[in-house]
Structure 1
């Protein structure tokens, strides 16, 4: 058996299914915490930033928090392994090379996202979860040759990703990740509704993050960029912002619950 066949066997193994389920539960917990912090922000009771890092810090402060944050880190690592296996060996059934490599590129992008969250969890568990902020990262990019274009491209890419999540939610394409039992009956209808709300709300929030990057590129002002926390703050500053932010927060929470449903009714 060569290395490619061995990797294919690992990719199709039951233990990888179990590993993915653990990762999805951890991912769902993070989204529920972000939702909680977003609602706190809307109600003027904000203590931590409504972002991945803020959620991890909040989790670390709870009883057995360090162990739970390490659990998130492990869960994200398991999801990274899954997506990297998909990138390297997945989608062989696709006859269209372009479509196959597009799906593999998507898997690689998700591996990067899970890896970044996992690294944040490790740093938080070690007591070093602070960072220079999104604006400092944007400033460094701005200083590069063609930096303004790079930041603008990042913004457009993030907007596109957010748009793809909204599209997946609206068309219910995400149901392909649920087995037949997870799509049927009363429970199945609830899972689909949670997924639809969750994907759309998360897509809107991420799209706003991308918009902040694009605006920073246009104005050449790194301080105009921001992560999820600043995006939700921007929502709060709009007319009816409190209501809108609570709605987005609840939507992100719905996405977190859908992650649990997906873990239970996993279909790869």
Structure 2
């Protein structure tokens, strides 16, 4: 008897924590299924999709770099949110079709939901980075009514990204190095406001250059969010905590997006709440 399975594809793929997350949930729920990591190169992507179409045990796959946009022409239909983001991180067979979803948006927003559920006079996010991950973050935050300051090495690319993803929004762009040096800007009263500072780049990741951000650019009461997962406690987050700011780490987004994918693969909700503590311990050993 064959076993149903899902997987994550990417190039490279060895660093993915997705098999550990989904495997933990399958084990907790006693579901007889597998979740694996599969190395798929750009040249092999089309053949991979073709091979999975006829596999009755396949429940779908997560898609990581560098395939989140390249898979779009190879599948049959996009969920409206994935179409808006212009990136797919989850593919699920539905009937005779392969459907592309983006669970990065709800995954990113999940740890912010208690804050987003409050009423604010004003909401602003400084988003650092204009790569693939930034697309889901821009769409998610703009949809929650935040004014964005998008910072990138190339401000023209940042502006084009905002115009593509939220053309009606009154957003701003800045060069990334603007935030590296101290400012004496006097912030107005932030009572009743929501301020986020988000690292949406790979800067600060193991093997990458550091993210240079001077804390004087953060309004009082800001929440710092880093999507990097290796290391989990980045220098960016350590500096923010030392300056008295609240922080959210990259594992929060990773577990949140996996939750939405798991439901589509296996037809049930994963165990959360207290189980998240055990899962985090397993992932950070």
- TM above 0.5, yes or no, is no
Length-normalised TM-score, structure 1: 0.28
- Of structures 1 and 2, the one scoring higher in RCO (CA 8 A, sep 6+) is 1
Higher strand share: 2
Length-normalised TM-score, structure 2: 0.26
Higher helix share: 1
